[in-house]
Amino acid sequence: MDKPVITGNTMIVPSDQEYLADIDAFLEATLRGYDADESVVADIAISVSELVINAMLHGNKSSPDKSVTVTINKVNGSIRITVSDEGSGFDPESIEDPLAQENLLKEVGRGVFVVRSLMDEMDIKSTPHGTTVTISKAI
């Protein structure tokens, strides 16, 4: 895959951060179509960027042969978004607490914490064939 593919409410991009602006534009256009408040759009945009970067770097190891899929749905007054990678999976319980004393000065490791704080719900499902993170926020 060498360019983004959009099908309905789903966008698939190669594992290259140069496509973050494309994902952001797709996300914001879709959310505005749902009449989402600007503060909600901002919270979701930050969260999705964090998740996509994690999927590209940690999940797919920046492999040009692997892609990241973002799907957006409106469900019962909430926005539900899934971000999936094609990596080898990980143990979600192994995510370190960024507020623990030994982690306070680390430059990485806050993405999931940030997403959890901005979203109403977050669910991580990881298998040896990839990870899917589902987030939701009431609009």
List of residues 6+ apart from 115 with CB closer than 8 A: 47, 50, 51, 122, 133, 135
- How many distinct structural domains can be found in the chain? 1
Q: Calculate ∠ Cα 50-56-61, nearest 5°.
A: 135
Q: What is the CATH number of the domain that holds 80?
A: 3.30.565.10
Is it the case that residue 93 has pLDDT exceeding 80? no
Domain span including residue 32: 5-138
Is it the case that residue 104 has pLDDT exceeding 60? no
pLDDT tens, 7-63?
A: 999 999 999 999 999 999 999 999 989 888 899 999 999 999 999 999 999 999 999
pLDDT tens, 65-87?
A: 999 999 999 999 999 999 999 99
Is it the case that residue 103 has pLDDT exceeding 90? no
